[in-house]
Amino acid sequence: MKQIQLTLIALFVISFSVFAQAKTTGKAVIKTPGIICQICSDRVERSLFKMYGITSIKADFKKKTTTVTWITDRTNIEEIKTAIANAGFDADDVTAEEDAVKRLPPACKMTIVEPLKK
């Protein structure tokens, strides 16, 4: 009987500690207007996956947004925006790093298409 009681107490303590260790997550949709193709999306996603605390990333070049989920005690939104800027793309109010923009493939640098002149 004592062994059953000890087992139940141990299970209770273990389950309580698991709930106490639950991580708080943050989620944001960041405007990334410089993402114009799948190559750009892949570059942003690869640069963010290297960061500690990122749990999911979806860079959408059609909507020109990047949706990121992270663990709040490991990183924050400003660090995420800075990482996107260091990859060569604007992220909301953070401007892309000039050197990183120069390293982008030529296709990713064509953000402005001039209209045909008549």
pLDDT digits (tens, 9 = 90+) for 73-109: 999 999 999 999 999 999 999 999 999 889 888 888 7
Q: Note whether 57 and 103 are within 8 A (CB).
A: no
Domain region containing 40: 25-109
Please indicate, yes or no, if residue 118 is contained in any of the structural domains. Answer: no
| More confident position, 64 or 21 | 64
- In this prediction the pTM is 0.73
Share of the chain above pLDDT 70, in %: 77
Please indicate, yes or no, if residue 87 is contained in any of the structural domains. Answer: yes
Q: Note whether 107 and 34 are within 8 A (CB).
A: no
Indicate if the alpha-carbon torsion angle 44, 51, 99, 66 is positive or negative.
positive
Please indicate, yes or no, if residue 6 is contained in any of the structural domains. Answer: no
Contact residues for 59 (Cβ-Cβ < 8 A; gap 6+) = 32, 35, 40, 41, 42, 44, 45, 65, 66
CATH number for the domain spanning 93: value is: 3.30.70.100
